[in-house]
Amino acid sequence: MHLLRSRSLTSNPIFISLGDPSGIGPEVFIKSLNNPEIQKNLNSFVVISSTDVVHKAIKDLNKAIQINEVSNFDNLSDDAINVQNVDGCLDYELGSPNEENAGYILKCLSKAAELANENKSCLITGPINKKIISTHLQNFSGHTEYLKNKFGVDEVLMFLTNSELHLGIATTHIPLSKVPNSITKDLIVNKFHLLHDGLESIFGYINPKIAVLGLNPHAGESGSIGKEEQLIISPAIKELLADGYNAIGPLSADTAFAIRNHDAVLSMYHDQALPVIKTLDFNKTVNITLGLPFLRVSVDHGTAENIAASYSANNESMLEAMLISLKNHAA
């Protein structure tokens, strides 16, 4: 394991988009305020939302905390929830997403992201219903792709993390049938760079050891079960090693997670690795987008509409997202 180092932090507030109001986003945020570290740092967070949505969650959870509605960020409260109000949220029922609120949800997300970018700060995102958003924004496939396009960056990396595993994914939300043609040498090298830099800047690793997975079963078995490892993945690793990076692989996915003598894993596609990290610790896994001009940290679960009305959701993923953001944020 490599030595960790401290990092410099910024002093601007962290901006939060709660996601779909009919899901569990508002609930898990309010529940996370019970954490002592969050309570001590309430003036580090600004929620971009309808104040009515926040009021409802507070009331339904029987919390005594107040709302401080803000138009700027000069005097944020340290004993209330700082909210910049966003109009346009229509009536909704917990557990019953309203397509007519798609525009409002995107407005909150867009505003929070713009503020994070302008203030060189952090963005925390709550869960959204992709189908609902797609009624307003065609071909919407998720936060990661939306933010990449919005800010015009060349490449981003979906980075999943919990106390057991750090994981990058070379491709994002695309059909499995499109994965092989999407895997290129340049893609792997670029995604590796993003993962490496994220491990150093967010978690303080120095030259982390990153395992690169193969695409095929048993990493291709020397070409007998596919050629991508020989033609694409191995040459990418060779280039990374020549540049001084600590890369190993291509490793077979069926053993790479069992023999974890590395600091992180770069997988080739979504379902090659997400079942592993979520099995290790579903509740505390968070999703970080690397490559944006600001840090975006998200819960790694959906809107959970089936339990939203019961207020029984586990808030640990939101809490972890808030704590990670705080660690990358100055007092």
What pLDDT was estimated at residue 304?
Answer: 95
222 exposure class (CB count in 10 Å sphere: 0-12, 13-18, 19+): exposed
CA dihedral 186, 192, 193, 196 (to 10 degrees): -170
Would you state the pLDDT for residue 329?
76
| Residue 144, amino acid | T
Torsion of CA 259, 262, 264, 266, to 10 degrees: -70
What are 221-266's pLDDT values in tens digits? 899 999 999 999 999 999 999 999 999 999 999 999 988 899 999 9
Confidence of residue 220 (pLDDT cuts 50, 70, 90): confident
Residues 143-165: pLDDT tens digits?
999 999 999 999 999 999 999 99
**Residue 10 pLDDT exceeds 50:** no
The predicted structure's pLDDT at residue 138: 85
Report the distance separating Cα 202 and Cα 255, nearest Å: 27
pLDDT of residue 280: 93
pLDDT at 11: 63
Average pLDDT over residues 133-139: 88
Say whether 162-281 and 1-153+292-331 share the same fold: yes
Q: Where are the domains of the chain?
A: 1-153+292-331, 162-281
Q: How far apart are the first and last CA of the chain?
A: 29
Selected from 3.40.718.10, 2.70.210.12, 3.40.640.10, 3.30.360.10, the CATH number assigned to the domain covering 1-153+292-331 reads 3.40.718.10
pLDDT at 331 over 80: no
Q: What's the CA angle centered on 85, arms 314 and 133, to 5 degrees?
A: 60
Distance from CA of residue 259 to its chain's centroid?
26
- Per-residue CA distances from 192 to 82, 123, 186, 296 (Å): 37, 23, 10, 18
CATH of domain 162-281: 3.40.718.10
Q: Is the pLDDT of residue 2 over 80?
A: no
Q: What pLDDT, on the 0 to 100 scale, is given for residue 52?
A: 97
pLDDT at 136 over 70: yes
- Taking alpha carbons only, the member of 215, 309, 187, 202 closest to residue 264 is 202
**pLDDT exceeds 90 at position 69:** yes
pLDDT confidence band for 330 (50 / 70 / 90): low
Percent of the chain surpassing pLDDT 70: 96
Instruction: Please determine, for residue 75, whether its predicted confidence score (pLDDT) is greater than 90.
Output: no
- pLDDT, residue 259, reads 83
pLDDT, position 4: 37
Render pLDDT for 12-64 as a digit per residue (tens, 0 to 9): 899 999 999 999 999 999 999 999 999 999 999 999 999 999 999 999 999 99
Tell me the pLDDT band of 208, cut-offs 50, 70 and 90.
very high
Confidence of residue 298 (pLDDT cuts 50, 70, 90): very high
CB 50 within 8 A of CB 57: no
